[in-house]
Amino acid sequence: MQPPLDEILDNFEFLDDWDDRYRYLIELGRMLEPLPDAARTDANKVRGCASQVWLETTIARNADGETVVNFRGDSDAHIVRGLVALAFAIFSGRTASSIIETDALGLFKTLGLGDHLTPQRSNGLRSMVDRIKADARAALAEATG
């Protein structure tokens, strides 16, 4: 089971060495719920990632009637799978409006990921966040329209 975001951030801060941080990201990726083969579709594929990344989005309503968005996903690359897990810790299970307002890229910068990821991985991470936010905007539009 994946740890909550606060625990991930604390663990990340505790690890000084970037090799340890990469290993931690890989471990987070291993904790992801397996994505069924049926969800590995072209429609679920995230464009702009050098690695293959799939993102399955489901929408529900909470007790207050707010639109809640949940994500499942996977990647064929270990570090990227860890980045998927980190993104899910930030976004999954939250309301669509809070997902749209969240500055995940700022959080990634605070963690130092921008300085320690290859340009291709940074672009892929940005593409994944853009896709998550687009799905949240679509869910919100569908709920209100």
User: Which residues are known catalytic residues?
Assistant: 49
CA separation, residue 92 to residues 51, 102, 115, 145 (Å): 21, 12, 25, 23
Tokens at residue 45, please?
């594929």
Q: Identity (one letter) of the amino acid at 36?
A: P
Helix residue ranges, H only, the chain: 5-14, 18-30, 78-91, 96-101, 104-110, 113-116, 119-144
